[in-house]
Amino acid sequence: MNIYVIMKRTFDTEEKIQIENGEIVEDGAEFIINPYDEYAIEEAIQLRDAHGGEVTLVTVGDEEAEKQIRTGLAMGADKAVLIEDEDVENGDPYSIQAMLSAYFKDQEVDIILGGNIAVDGGSGQVGPRLAEQLGFNHVTSVVNIEIEDGKAKIERDVEGDQEHIEVALPVLVTAQQGLNEPRYPSLPGIMKAKKKPLDTLDLDDLDLEEEDVEGKTKTIERYLPPEKAAGKILEGEVDEQVTELISLLKNEAKVI
């Protein structure tokens, strides 16, 4: 099987993120593989082990993404492709799918996996957009997948319930939490990853011009959520606390 994973390098949202002049400060920030993409990588490896073939990671980004790509290779992927986006103006999900579409049009594909969303942007658009451009079946929020006789039997999460779908290959699926438990890279895996193939492509290699991938959206403002004010502890007898609470809700919170 020809198995591909579209993978993104994202900020570690568990670390402190700083914003200056409407831009995220990358100096000193921690970057990781998008957590939902880890489920996609793990599932791709399991499918390869069950059905044969190879797993290729495909990332759109800059050279800094190599660290996360090597981590994916250390998990067990066979090879990787980095599509450089340094020449892209105001990149957005449209830009990413345009570059991915140009790459995949020349590839033989059985299945493409990706994360359900990226934890930085959260749009969940790239996978479905890419599938539409390629003319592939696509299923989102996948929590189980089985491949048999050229078809994928898929279970997907639908707001707390499950939906069962059967589609023909090739197919693009996006992974939801619960699909599997991503493995940690082993020491031998880390050593092998250093020698695994990593090809780097740019717009020229994909026969694209800058205007072909220019973003379609505009970011007006970026800002951190306001800090929460400290809570208040009401003292005194119960009737006194109730009186003070009503006063606070009316005069300070202005909700009554």
For the 2-212 domain, the top CATH level (class) is: alpha beta
pLDDT value, residue 201:
96
- State the average pLDDT over residues 72-95: 93
Residues 28-52 have pLDDT tens digits of: 788 999 999 999 999 999 999 999 9
Specify which residues 138 forms β-bridges with: 172
Please give the angle made by the CA atoms of 101, 106 and 108, to the nearest 5 degrees. Answer: 105
Residue type at 175 in one-letter notation? A
| Sequence ranges of the chain with CATH classification 3.40.50.620 | 2-212
Contact 203, 210 (CB under 8 A): yes
Helices 126-134 & 93-104, crossing angle to 10 degrees? 40
Residues 175-193 have pLDDT tens digits of: 999 999 999 999 999 999 9
pLDDT value, residue 52:
96
pLDDT exceeds 80 at position 22? no
Mean pLDDT value across the chain = 92
pLDDT value, residue 159:
83
Closest C-alpha to 182, from 76, 70, 57, 54: 76
* Helical spans, DSSP H, in 52-160: 66-75, 93-104, 126-134
pLDDT exceeds 90 at position 135? yes
Proportion of the chain above pLDDT 70, given as a percent:
100
Residue 4's contacts (CB-CB under 8 Å, 6 or more residues apart) are 44, 55, 56, 57, 58, 104, 107, 109, 111, 112, 113
pLDDT value, residue 104:
97
Q: Report residue 213's pLDDT band, with 50, 70 and 90 as the boundaries.
A: very high
Residues 190-209 have pLDDT tens digits of: 999 999 999 999 999 999 99
pLDDT exceeds 80 at position 142? yes
- State the average pLDDT over residues 96-106: 95
What element of type H or E holds 138?
strand 137-148
